[in-house]
């Protein structure tokens, strides 16, 4: 059997519910400026922003079944710090997860981006 090496599920089966696809979320402050030039701090703000998007749609991070995380080329020395941030937002029944290292983002100030798929209660 293939075993996960970190805190994520290998697969999630969905029965019922409404799918919510969340576009890439970055670490933007409320005024639209980039929150910081630190990848770990950007990840914190990005996950907070993701949480707000989910709440506005009637869900929460607990409803996330799939998450894709995109990081810049120089993230490896901060990997453990990034995992700690992620662990503050996803606990227990972890989403399916993919980590992708990219050469660059649409805005060179972005160092971190997260996108998600959630299943919301179809009665909500």
pLDDT, one tens digit per residue, over 7-27 is: 655 566 677 779 999 999 999
Does residue 62 fall inside a structural domain?
A: yes
Q: Is 117 helix (H, G, I), strand (E, B) or coil?
A: strand
Q: What is the pLDDT of residues 60-111, one digit of tens each?
A: 999 999 999 999 877 788 888 999 999 999 988 889 999 999 999 999 999 9
Does residue 28 fall inside a structural domain?
A: yes
Does residue 10 fall inside a structural domain?
A: no
Going from the C-alpha of 54 to that of each of 36, 101, 115, the distances in angstroms are 23, 25, 11
User: Rounded CA gap, 20 and 113, in Å?
Assistant: 17
Task: Return the CATH number at 116.
Answer: 3.30.1330.40
């Amino acid at each position: 059997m293939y075993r996960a090496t970190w805190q994520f599920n290998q697969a999630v089966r969905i029965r019922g519910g409404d799918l919510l696809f969340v576009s890439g979320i970055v670490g933007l402050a409320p005024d639209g400026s980039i929150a910081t030039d630190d990848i770990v701090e950007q990840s914190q703000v990005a996950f907070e922003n993701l949480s707000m998007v989910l709440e506005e749609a009637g869900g929460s991070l607990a409803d996330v079944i799939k998450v894709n995380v995109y990081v810049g080329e120089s993230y490896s020395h901060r990997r453990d710090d990034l995992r700690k941030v992620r662990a503050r937002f996803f606990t227990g029944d972890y989403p399916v997860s993919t980590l992708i290292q990219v050469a660059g983002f649409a805005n060179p100030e972005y160092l971190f981006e997260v996108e998600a798929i959630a299943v919301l209660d179809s009665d909500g």
